[in-house]
Amino acid sequence: MTIPIALTIAGSDSGGGAGIQADLKTFSACGVYCASVVTALTAQNTRGVRAIHDVPADFITAQIDAVFDDLDVRAVKIGMVAQRAAIEAIAAGLDRWSARNVVVDPVMVATSGDRLLAADAVEAVRGLLLPRALIATPNLPEAAALLDEAHVAREESDIVRQGERLLALGCRAVLVKGGHGDGPESTDYLIGRDGVVRLAAPRIRTRNTHGTGCTLSSAIAAGLAKGAPLDQAVRDAKTYITAAVAAADRLNVGHGHGPVHHFHAFDDRKT
């Protein structure tokens, strides 16, 4: 049996908890082979981002062409893309290779609060990436920023309204993530052409949430690469990230916002 293959297009995290590194761990844990296109190098750890070095757009193009020319890519996850030129190169590459099952995670701010997306790139995400996406996975602040709204939604009606506005930009579905919300549950909203699905899980009290968005979007892409329908891929990914966050404190990595536990299913430690 041939292993399903997915591609992550994202930035590298030198601390190992988010970005390309989190994506590779997630795909591996989910039984999917992962190729990668690096859009930026970051000097960061669990405490914050110290520097960002952007990869030139022509080299992003070269990486995309090298992967698609040889591998049967069944899903694509797009994460941190800091510059407009890089976004334009990615959009052209997706079209050139007729990429399937594109998951766009519009990474704008790191868990530490450091901004990762240039201001002039937000419009490119809206106009070039979202229309090519099967699903976009913004958190609450990212949804507001993509819509140029000052108000970060808190009430369910506002969250759904913002999701529907994002849907109108061209993607086939939107998963608005509720990790930045309040209350005893962390609720995500899957908004599609046929309606809204509410996905709730107990809110886990931990500071070790570095890479949660990267991990969730990669888990969705892994499910799609394995042939799951979108709603099932999202449900399975929600289950996976909930367990990864619940087990995060076992790792004890770093002195700031530590990573989630991508390989929790293979760890027999209880503490």
Q: In the chain, what is the straight-line distance between the N-terminal and C-terminal CA atoms, in Å? A: 36
Burial class (CB in 10 A: 0-12, 13-18, 19+), 59: middle
Alpha-carbon radius of gyration of the chain: 17
Tell me the pTM. 0.95
pLDDT tens per residue across all 271 residues of the chain: 799 999 999 999 999 999 999 999 999 999 999 999 999 999 999 999 999 999 999 999 999 999 999 999 999 999 999 899 999 999 999 999 999 999 999 987 655 556 667 777 889 999 999 999 999 999 999 999 899 888 889 889 999 999 999 999 999 999 999 876 667 788 999 999 999 999 999 899 899 999 999 999 999 999 999 999 999 999 999 999 999 999 999 999 999 999 999 999 998 765 5
Strand-pair category, 102-104 with 195-202: unpaired
Known catalytic residues are 177, 209, 211-214
Model pLDDT, residue 107: 83
Q: How far apart are CA 59 and CA 79, in angstroms?
A: 17
The architecture that CATH gives domain 5-266 is: 3-Layer(aba) Sandwich (3.40)
Domain boundaries, given as residue ranges, for the chain: 5-266
- Amino acid symbol at 36: S
